[in-house]
Amino acid sequence: MNRLRTHPNPDLSVGADNKQRWNQPAHRRHGFHNAHSLFRRALMVRARNVLALDPVPPRGISTPALDKLMDHVAFSAFVCARDNKILLDHSAPDFDTRHPHSIQSVTKMHIHLIVGRLLEKGLLDLYKPVRHYLPDIGSGYAMARVQDLLDMNVANDFSEDYDDPQSDCYAEEAALGWRLPESGTPEITLRDFTHAITGSDLKNRTGHADYKSANTDVLTLICAAVSPVPLAAQIEAIADAAGYEDTFHISLSRDGFPAFSGGGCVSARDLARFGLLFARGGRDIRGRTFANDAFLRTSLQRAAPALNPPRDWLRYSNHLMTDGRFLGHAGYGGQFLMVDTVSRTACAYLSVLENDAGYDEDYMLSVILALREVCEAVGQQ
């Protein structure tokens, strides 16, 4: 029998600058707009009931800073919502606010919700070392407190430098199901990847949050170890509490763990619905308690490591970025979800930077400041 011709999956194969095709600059916009169908494997979830969002006429809450962002070549979509109303809804000509988009590290906010629910049940102690829950974890995390992982306050040998194509965060992608390993190499599991990370005393001496997506991967394994239900069921519960209209997708590791460190794909409208869950103080779409409200409130008020300048007015607290009033999270490539706890407004911003690194600190600061202006304008009405 003749041997059939084959070739590596072109979207997942690593090429220039140690990036798989869908994350190379020339293909990144298509990749972020279609990541939910490009991952090696993924979980998809629909909500049982949908939170109705009715458009209302704009009432002067757009700002010059937001208008500039929506004219930017990177822009994909923006939705601002409060209660049952869409206050602003815009998308680029090649996109739509109901189409899934990679939200990257905004996905990390799921860990805040899951950890809070586990704390309420007495299943997790944030001051225990990681090895209490994962006895075979490597030196990069064994003696770190769970709390320090939640606050991005761990120093180890994992590197997350988007400008360096050899940074560990790109090797991590093989464990998340975003890329294929080198030819002939077995696909690594999330457990194997995290357990191989090394470190020494693990104390963060930078004076700021030491951002490492691997922290989220380890928290994922801890949550899976203590959760009374599978993590897939936790995701379904969050989808139901938020009331998604369309589908939430999240990539899966080879050993079946959701990539909470950055594998989420969801529409701008549904990302706003996710934000409204936080704006409601953790209550679901039926008004019932869902999230750990005490954990959420404490996360906003407590001392926690500040982000690096120029975003050092934000703290990284329990897997949220916050200044005490606003909370949210950034995502690689140009994403941000902002929630205003005063006006109970959620702003979901999606975009795709097509520079080599896929990240730009100045651009992200402009996004955060523009969303804060919009939230403040809503609050003044």
Give the angle 155-159-160 at the CA atoms, nearest 5°.
115
Indicate if the pLDDT at residue 77 is higher than 70.
Answer: yes
Residue 246 — very low, low, confident or very high, per pLDDT cuts 50/70/90? very high
pLDDT at 109: 98
pLDDT at 213: 98
Evaluate whether 102 touches 90 at the Cβ level (below 8 Å).
Answer: no
**Residue 80 bridge partners (DSSP):** 88, 347
Residue 262 — very low, low, confident or very high, per pLDDT cuts 50/70/90? very high
Q: pTM for the full model?
A: 0.97
Beta strands 85-91 and 54-55, pairing class: parallel
Query: Which of 372-381 are b and which e, b meaning 16 or more Cβ less than 10 Å from the residue's Cβ?
Result: bbbbbbbeee
3-state secondary structure of 4: coil
Q: What is the average pLDDT score of the chain?
A: 96
Range 16-379 classified under CATH 3.40.710.10: yes
> Tens digits of per-residue pLDDT, 9-55?
999 999 878 999 999 999 999 999 999 999 999 999 999 999 999 98
Average pLDDT over residues 227-250: 98
CA distance 173 to 39: 10
pLDDT at 58: 67
Evaluate whether 295 touches 320 at the Cβ level (below 8 Å).
Answer: no
Share of the chain above pLDDT 70, in %: 99
CA distance 355 to 366: 17
Q: Where are the domains of the chain?
A: 16-379
> Tens digits of per-residue pLDDT, 171-227?
999 999 999 998 778 999 999 999 999 999 999 999 999 999 999 999 999 999 999
pLDDT at 68: 96
Please, how many CA atoms are within 13 Å of residue 43, restricted to the half-sphere of its CB?
22
pLDDT at 184: 75
> Tens digits of per-residue pLDDT, 310-358?
999 999 999 999 999 999 999 999 999 999 999 999 999 999 999 999 9
pLDDT at 56: 87
pLDDT at 380: 82
CA distance 52 to 378: 20
CA distance 19 to 25: 9
Average pLDDT over residues 373-381: 89
CA distance 130 to 144: 6
Please, how many CA atoms are within 13 Å of residue 20, restricted to the half-sphere of its CB?
26
pLDDT at 60: 72
CA distance 163 to 358: 8
> Tens digits of per-residue pLDDT, 96-135?
999 999 999 999 999 999 999 999 999 999 999 999 999 9
Evaluate whether 76 touches 91 at the Cβ level (below 8 Å).
Answer: yes
pLDDT at 61: 84
> Tens digits of per-residue pLDDT, 263-306?
999 999 999 999 999 999 999 999 999 999 999 999 999 999 99
Share of the chain above pLDDT 90, in %: 92
CA distance 99 to 79: 12
